[in-house]
Amino acid sequence: AQTVTQSQPEMSVQEAETVTLSCTYDTSESDYYLFWYKQPPSRQMILVIRQEAYKQQNATENRFSVNFQKAAKSFSLKISDSQLGDAAMYFCAYRSSRGAGNNRKLIWGLGTSLAVNP
């Protein structure tokens, strides 16, 4: 069974600085998707960035980028020029891309709470 591990329950960063959140996963599959979701105090789950496993190029969305190391099964999120609005819980998630049933669900890490200090 696939698992997702976020080893940093809490992180903090100074405004305008860069922070990296870690995520590792375990799977025997070769085709899958990885996601980072942000959950602010409003509780809404917001997609930050996604990565298809078959793509070697790391995904980037404005100030957010990932370091995807498929062999090491690592998927870290880098937030550049941190802003106060980035303070939230961040979840790493995995979804298989094939297989009846397995590709229907997301498998989640436990989250990293990010504080941004002014």
Partner 1 sequence: NAGVTQTPKFQVLKTGQSMTLQCAQDMNHEYMSWYRQDPGMGLRLIHYSVGAGITDQGEVPNGYNVSRSTTEDFPLRLLSAAPSQTSVYFCASRGRMNTEAFFGQGTRLTVV
62 binds partner 1 per the rule CB under 8 A:
no
In whole angstroms, the minimum distance from the beta carbon of 33 to partner 1 comes to 6
Q: Is 106 among the residues that bind partner 1 (CB under 8 A)?
A: yes
Applying CB under 8 A, which part among 13-21, 60-68, 78-86, 99-107 lies near partner 1? Answer: 99-107
The only residue of 90, 109, 112, 116 in contact with partner 1, by rule CB under 8 A:
109
Residue 81's nearest CA partner among 12, 11, 10, 19 is 19
Indicate the DSSP class of residue 58. P
Burial of 42 (C-beta count, 10 Å sphere; 0-12/13-18/19+):
exposed
